[in-house]
Homo-oligomer: A and B are copies of this chain.
Amino acid sequence: MTTYPPAEPGMRLEDVDTPALIIELAPFEANLARMAKDAKAAGMALRPHAKMHKCPAIGLKQMALGAVGMCCQKVSEAEAMVNGGVTDVLVSNQVVGAQKIARLASLATRARIGVCVDDLDNVDQLSVAAVAFGVELETLIEISLGRCGVEPGEPATALAKRIESAPGLRFGGLHVYHGGAQHIREKDGRCAAIAHATALARSAKEGIEAAGIAVPRVTGAGTGTYEFEAASGVYNELQCGSYAFMDADYGRNKDEGGTPYDRFEQSLFVYATVMSCPTPDRAVCDAGLKASSVDSGLPVVAGADLDAEYVGASDEHGAMRVGRRGASNRTLKLGDKIKLIPGHCDPTVNLYDWYVCVRDGRVEAVWPIAARGCMT
């Protein structure tokens, strides 16, 4: 509910008050371009996930570079995207409950809307709502990789048949996203996990096709694995999201031969101020649990010249060890501003109302995180 922007274009970065969520525009734009190029080169549709950035302004940039639309995880998130000008949204998730289903169908009067299912009754409920609103909902089947979804074979084929015969619904294909594969550190492990997902997708697709139903789309993939889905011969749409920003957890992934997974650069930072230097070897910054989500590890202090390590988060404090590398490195003093790399970008973004977009040390723009807090 901070409705006024935290910075103004033209300000110097060091004058931005903290904590603030910073996008460095140069690496951000390079990331968008790289993924657009990779998807195009592989002949894959790109439908980036907006659950990560929650920002229509970013979605429109991704679409301007060739993305076919956005993924969202919640109806309210999709509403925020459509309100912001995005015309094609796949809710890559089940939508359960009369209120949400009605809102989804209502949204389809204004944009092309897809949704995922893993339950026969849910198909019927979506159909009733689609008919009531006079819309068509593209309906995809989620194939289980351990969370939601159904098994390939009879359960998936039964759902496809139900969708095919349901007024107001159009069978859109398969949603096969392997979240657990994204952060397997070794490339071979990620490759093997996606080989498993691909086998499930292929099996489900063949079963449905054997029932005489075409499977137009097989969608999935994340920033950690998209090259494998792209090469699978089964998937034809990529849902990657984190590539735009990256985070400390993705930074721990490895590429070929154990080299760093550095095809995308870190572009998202939590900007923080040193608020206490209680001892020579400790400093405290003003960014804690409410400024950077710690579910996938603590934030990491950016800047190789900075002799500081973030070692503990409480609600509004970040505890740091400083000066352990000796006098040759820069240590921190009261009032210094530092950049932190969040452990996990998605839930960190969800703590902020605005992005402060920076280029060459100056604020270039502020973008509202319009879907922040959109949970329903």
Contacts and interface: CB of A to CB of B under 8 A. Distances in A.
B76 A284 contact: no
A65 interface: no
A375 B314 CA distance: 13
A147 interface: yes
Total copies of this chain within the assembly: 2
A17 B97 contact: yes
Contacts of A373: 1-2, 351-353, 372
Contacts of A48: none
A342 to B, nearest CB: 13
In the complex, the 4 A-B pairs of residues with the closest C-beta atoms, listed nearest first: A148-B276, A96-B275, A19-B375, A73-B316
A68 B371 CA distance: 37
Given A273-B97, A314-B147, A6 B284 contact: no
Interface stretch (A25-33, A105-113, A230-238, A289-297): A289-297
Contacts of A88: none
A214 interface: no
A51 B119 contact: no
B295 A289 contact: yes
A187 to B, nearest CB: 22
Interface in A341-363: 344, 346-347, 350-353
B6 A346 contact: no
B119 A334 contact: yes
A118 interface: yes
B97 A18 contact: yes
A229 interface: no
A167 B286 CA distance: 27
A287 B96 CA distance: 13
Nearest to A150: B278
